[in-house]
Amino acid sequence: MESVAILGVVGNAIQLVDFTTKLVSKSRSLQHSGSLVEQGDLLTLSASLKRDLELAPAGNTENDIATRSICEKCFDIGLEIEIALADTNKKSSYGKWKSFRHALKAIWGAEKLADMQGRLTMFSQQLQQRTQMKTHEAVTDMHVDVIRALNDATISSTKEHEATRSDIQSLQNEAERQAHQLREEINTLRSDLEKRIAESVVKSEQLSKTEQNRLHQFTNATYKLWAAKEVMLANISTDSEK
């Protein structure tokens, strides 16, 4: 049985045992109205315990099976007393017996009544022990669940962090690839620009005004493109460092 579920069953069993213990030990006068009220209370407690036993999982551990067995025996005791109280109603003996104890002793006999009280005392002690054990188990289970949840959260956070780090690394790799490509283009442009400047100096006197203007414009365009790529490379390098 799950720790939290069995605690509810044990709690109802304890209530039933406490109630029946007080019932069989009562020395006050047995009145018809009092009998009906207490019989109703006993029926309510027994029904509650029976419902919990039916709803609670059977359990696989030896401890859970033993705990359930004790709770079932407590239900059986309640049933025995219910039958005895019903018997007092049938015999209409409310004025004859001074108390529930007196009535039960007359119906069961002194030996069975003493045995019933002994069983109630034993079950009360066992239920108290089971309550402590199951409470400890419930707290332990909750602790384990919290630790498991924290571990799952840590694993999830780690995976997300690794995914983010992988994305960042991919961006950095792409930036480095673009920077490398720009460097090659810039070097090509620089070489081409230097070559054309040298050629323009040599050929300037041999070219017409129109050709000189075209060469000058082409050289300026090449220079501007080279300068723009230098700026782009500087920006990429700065972003990569960040």
Q: pLDDT digit of tens for each residue in the chain (242 aa)?
A: 456 677 788 888 989 999 888 888 765 555 554 455 677 888 889 998 889 888 877 767 787 888 888 899 999 999 988 888 777 666 555 455 667 777 788 788 888 888 888 988 998 888 888 787 777 776 776 666 667 777 777 776 666 767 677 777 777 777 777 767 767 776 776 676 566 656 655 555 555 666 556 655 656 666 566 566 666 666 655 555 55
pLDDT, residue 210, reads: 64
Q: What is the token pair recorded at 112?
A: 């069975």
Q: Could you identify the residue written with the tokens 């009145």? A: 31
pLDDT, residue 75, reads: 92
pLDDT, residue 101, reads: 78
Cα distances (Å, whole numbers) of residue 77 to 41, 123, 159, 229: 15, 10, 57, 94
Question: 156-188: b or e for each residue (b if 16 or more CB lie within 10 Å)?
Answer: eeeeeeeeeeeeeeeeeeeeeeebeebeeebee
Spatial CA neighbour of 64 closest among 9, 146, 112, 145: 9
Query: How far is Cα 81 from Cα 90, in angstroms, rounded to an integer?
Result: 14
- The pTM for the full model equals 0.52
State the DSSP code for 204. T
Spatial CA neighbour of 192 closest among 228, 229, 219, 211: 219
Q: Could you identify the residue written with the tokens 């780690």? A: 158
pLDDT, residue 171, reads: 73
pLDDT, residue 22, reads: 84
State the DSSP code for 28. S
Spatial CA neighbour of 182 closest among 241, 236, 239, 221: 236
pLDDT, residue 108, reads: 84
Domain boundaries, the chain: 1-151
Q: Are 117 and 21 in contact (CB under 8 A)?
A: yes
Q: Could you identify the residue written with the tokens 């080279």? A: 226
Q: What is the token pair recorded at 16?
A: 């039933």
Q: Are 176 and 45 in contact (CB under 8 A)?
A: no
